[in-house]
Amino acid sequence: MTSAGGTKKLGAFLATMLVAGNMIGSGVYLLPASLGAVGSISILGWVVAIGGAALLGLAFSALTILRPQGTGLISHVREAFGPGSAFVWGVLYWTACWTGNVAIALAVTGYVGYFLPALASPPGATFFTAGILWLFTAANIIGPRFVARFEGGTLLVGLAPVLLIALGGWFYFDPAIFTNSWNVTGKPFIEAMPQSVVMVFWAFLGIESANIVAPLVENPVRDVPRATIGGLLIAALVYVSACAAIMGILPAADLAASSAPFADAARPLVGSSLAAVVALCAMLKASGTVGGWILVSAETWGADEVLGLLLRRAPKRRNGGPSVANLLFNGALMSAAAFLTANANLARQFTVVADVSVILCMFLYAAACAALIRLSTERPARWRLGARALAVGSILFCVWVASVSEVPLLMWSVAAIIAVILAYLPLAWWRSRVSGTKVEHLSRL
């Protein structure tokens, strides 16, 4: 089927592949090292995270059924709660994006560190990570087509390490290693397992992808729910198989100290020489994803909105992509985050920035589910009851994930939310003075 403009739309299969592809990104390449600090008990965290992601996916699908032409979660929040709320959550989603970019760049650094050990810890790791961020910022200045081609070229290459461990790793799986690494935190189960859920959910950011591209889907009411749950199941199968296998190959202590866990796990399977090829594949895929997500971050509504307010005018787009000013602004923020979170253990730094990104997304997801409650009033009672049950369950899950995260990271995330709320009115007042438009208040936030 084609749209009125002649553009061929996505069917259920391609939409499913889009969701799975967005979730099976480069974040997994350092995730096993982060989970090594918790232990193989994190396999239960995967189960909980998959259930929560499915609940959220169904809630977002319900939003698509309500508004098939919606352009993502922020558009639903805007309709339900007004422009002021859209500003707050749009800026926070943008913040989650560029924070997450730092985590992806750290994955690049980790696998380069496999070849150059000096880059596996600060200060080399920090400067190299910042260099990677600026390199791909420059690539985006060249143009989005250049970035898209590079990312597309690294896609299949980058899946090789994950699939190698997910399939071949089980032949080298040692139950004793898995059992001895069960809970290395020294904390009770009720504290250790939830801690892993926050880390694990990093892998499922992107569950909203089908909702975002709903206008491009042939039959969004039917195909978006199928694509969301289908994509989730594919990503979950790949992730759980790979991470569980790794935890039966390498002890938790070795994982936690690794800057390239897939390469280290591949060494017993294929030898040191081919393990270096695995590291190279992971590095290339992570590099491609950095470039792509820098483009996504600069293209988000929040990026243009904030920069437009600061510059008193809309940034001028270039080469069909975001403005140079926008890209440089994002580059400066990402570099600052890389230096502010620098840690002697690369996996720990990855955990910090990835968890902050997850917490911010949890708040956005909760806001979108609250929008579902408000927008569902127009539907029949039975449908409305089911949608609201999904929304309430999803909100409770989001609040729980945020509440079990590390207290300092939660405090930083809440501080970011408060800062955006407090900044909105003076920024909007500034815009009203320049443009003569009316300030939109946060009365429906």
Whether the CA torsion 389, 395, 399, 400 is positive or negative: it is positive
Mean pLDDT over 108-128 rounds to 89
State whether residue 17 is helix, strand or coil. Answer: helix
| pLDDT reported for residue 203 | 87
| pLDDT reported for residue 426 | 75
Mean pLDDT check: name the lowest of 36-45, 139-148, 360-369.
139-148
Q: Which tens digit of pLDDT belongs to each residue from 10-34?
A: 677 878 877 777 677 656 788 898 8
Determine how many CB atoms are found less than 10 A away from the CB of residue 411.
11
In the predicted structure, residue 422 carries a pLDDT above the cut 60: yes
Q: For 133-200, give the DSSP string.
A: HHHHHHHHHH-HHHHHHHHHHHHHHHHHHHHHHHHHGGGG--HHHHHHTS--S-S-HHHHHHHHHHHH
| pLDDT reported for residue 337 | 92
| pLDDT reported for residue 45 | 92
**Exposure letters 415-439 (e unless 16+ CB within 10 A, then b):** ebbeebbeebeebbeebeeeeeeeb
Domain ranges of the chain: 12-435
Mean pLDDT check: name the lowest of 283-287, 316-320, 351-355, 373-377.
316-320
Report yes or no: 90 and 305 within 8 Å, Cβ to Cβ.
yes
Mean pLDDT over 340-345 rounds to 87
Burial of 64 (0-12, 13-18, 19+ CB in 10 A): buried
| pLDDT reported for residue 303 | 59
State whether residue 213 is helix, strand or coil. Answer: coil
In the predicted structure, residue 302 carries a pLDDT above the cut 90: no
| pLDDT reported for residue 420 | 84
Report yes or no: 202 and 29 within 8 Å, Cβ to Cβ.
no
pLDDT band at 305 (very low <50, low <70, confident <90, very high): low
Confidence (pTM): 0.84
Report yes or no: 26 and 286 within 8 Å, Cβ to Cβ.
yes
Percent with pLDDT over 70 in the chain: 86
Report yes or no: 177 and 251 within 8 Å, Cβ to Cβ.
yes
In the predicted structure, residue 387 carries a pLDDT above the cut 50: yes
Chain centre distance of CA 38: 21
Q: Which tens digit of pLDDT belongs to each residue from 60-106?
A: 999 999 988 777 788 888 899 887 888 888 888 888 888 988 988 99
C-alpha 104/C-alpha 257 separation (Å) is: 18
Mean pLDDT of the chain: 84
Determine how many CB atoms are found less than 10 A away from the CB of residue 443.
9
In the predicted structure, residue 7 carries a pLDDT above the cut 60: no
> Which residues does 174 contact at the CB level (< 8 Å), separation at least 6?
248, 249
Percent with pLDDT over 90 in the chain: 30
In the predicted structure, residue 2 carries a pLDDT above the cut 50: no
Q: Ranked by mean pLDDT, which of 279-283, 286-290, 384-388, 438-442 comes out on top?
A: 384-388
**Does domain 12-435 match CATH 2.40.10.220?**
no
Residue 321: phi, psi to the nearest 5?
A: -130, -165
